[in-house]
Amino acid sequence: MQLIVLGSGTSVPHPGRCSPSYWLETTAGTILLDAGPDAAHRMAHEKVDWPNLDAIWVSHFHLDHFGGLPTLLFGFRWSPQTQARTKPLRVVGPKGLHGLLETINNANNYKLLQQPFPVEIVEVETDHPFDFLPQLIGNAVSTPHTTESLALRLTDRAMKTLVYTSDTGFTEDLFTFAAAPNLLLLECSFRRNKSVQTHLQLSEAMQIAQACNPKRLVLTHLYPEWDEFNLVAEANSFWTGETIEATDGLRLII
């Protein structure tokens, strides 16, 4: 697997961090993990093979994670690079995904789901393994962020694993769900004294990391308050594992 960070930030405008999106290359195909408002142009900027994207994961319906999906589908419909495409595009996410896309589509007859190629909308159940792509197993678990928000665990045929929490408050449910992955992509919105319970501050993120013991930890979804602090140095005071600060354009081999 290879992970490319397209957006390591939040909904708050930032000169160096786009809204959350991640490009994942696997032996089974390519996946866009969340589609923030900047996702389409960030994919082009990173020169990935976006016209042949195999699947999109939608963790929840907040606009900094979902808002770029209608734009991306609208672009796919009209882009010269996708007119000859025949393989399906899978859009995978929580219950309500299909209805939300239909509502947006019908608002102005965008024909988002009428592409030159088939579009498959898959609404997943929690706590049941599913085929994300052929020979790529997905598992999802509910998280305390929104009513529909999900964390995702992916396992390829070589048994390499990635866990993407997306937005979440603190929950011990992640201790088991995210145990011992090759890479844990974990939100760390705030340094301390968080103002909401539906995100993590550093001490909570590191408690999850300690319990899960990933081979590598990538902290992401970083609010601008982190600009004035050394995230990795502070994380290292909590545990001795490898911690990486997500930055836009970061590339990691898993």
Q: Output the pLDDT for position 127.
A: 82
Percent of the chain with pLDDT over 70: 100
DSSP element (H, E) containing 226: none
Give pLDDT, residue 101: 98
User: What's phi and psi for 231, nearest 5 deg?
Assistant: -60, -45
Q: What is the pLDDT of residue 192?
A: 93
Q: How does pLDDT run across 9-67, given as a tens digit for each residue?
A: 999 999 999 999 999 999 999 999 999 999 999 999 999 999 999 999 999 999 999 99
Q: Rounded mean pLDDT of the chain?
A: 98
Residue 200: what pLDDT?
98
pLDDT one-digit tens code per residue, 81-140 = 999 999 999 999 999 999 999 999 999 999 999 999 999 999 999 989 999 999 999 999
**Which residues belong to the active site?**
64
Q: Specify the pTM.
A: 0.97
Place of tokens 């992955």: 181
pLDDT digits (tens, 9 = 90+) for 142-170: 999 999 999 999 999 999 999 999 999 99
Structural domains present in the chain: 2-253 (3.60.15.10)
Sequence letter at residue 109:
N
Give, in order, the Cα–Cα distances in Å from 119 to each of 23, 49, 69, 122, 168: 19, 18, 13, 10, 28
